[in-house]
Amino acid sequence: MSSTKRLEGKVAVITGGNSGIGLATAKRLQEEGARVAISGRNKKTLDEAVKTISNGVLAVQADMSRLSEVGKLYSEVSKRFGKIDVLFVNAGIAKFAPLAETPESLFDEQFDTNIKGAYFTVQKAIPFLNDGASIILNTSVADRKGTTGASAYAATKAALRSLARTAAAELVGRGIRVNSVAPGPIVTPIFGRTGLPKEAVDEFAKDIVAKVPMKRFGQPEEVAGVVAFLASQDASYITGEEINVDGGLGQI
């Protein structure tokens, strides 16, 4: 646990902050002194997240693939907290199928949330950001590593990686840094939402762990720590970068 308050007085917004990596990050940024706002699509998990994080967290029910709801999130944050210092673009979904069997609906659903939603989450944030703010996008080790069954998902994450670089180039004049965190396999509820039966998910998990040099899944808190670093002044000379949190999967 961090005892430092690197984000004292800062305002942090986390999309998909109601579970998994987003929830762990919301907790961590608050521990570091930030005032935190989270968004999520599911009212029940959002309410549970508020109880877990407590301390005046603002929760906004919003589907980040709908542009009007992205706007709603920022107007509520600005009313409560004013300008934003940290934006963690984390809302995303993962659905797997072989390339030959990927239906248009599965492709569209992932592109709508993972890239279109993320793109406009960044775009619509720009007027609400303080100069010197930090934007962090949640990509994936799959954005550069060919992963069987993940063609549409991996393509959304590669597009996101590209967006981070362009946004970094365009916003650098305002001192706004844009970086990515690329998780490998992390213990989160996303695995239960892949649309695969439990046996297939277990088999998939076993197969993944065998490939990870550290031979284990990561914890959401391990990603949250890297997001907190990128959000803070400790990363003041880092922009356009992607940090893998993947047990070595993308590197070794």
8 A C-beta contact, residue 13 and residue 86: yes
8 A C-beta contact, residue 245 and residue 184: yes
Q: Residue 172: how many CB atoms within 10 A of its CB?
A: 13
Q: Quick one: tokens of 110?
A: 């992932």
| Residues in a beta bridge with 35 | 11
Nearest to 89 by CA among 129, 121, 125: 121
* Beta strands at 11-15 and 35-40: parallel, antiparallel or unpaired: parallel
8 A C-beta contact, residue 142 and residue 154: yes
Catalytic residues: 153
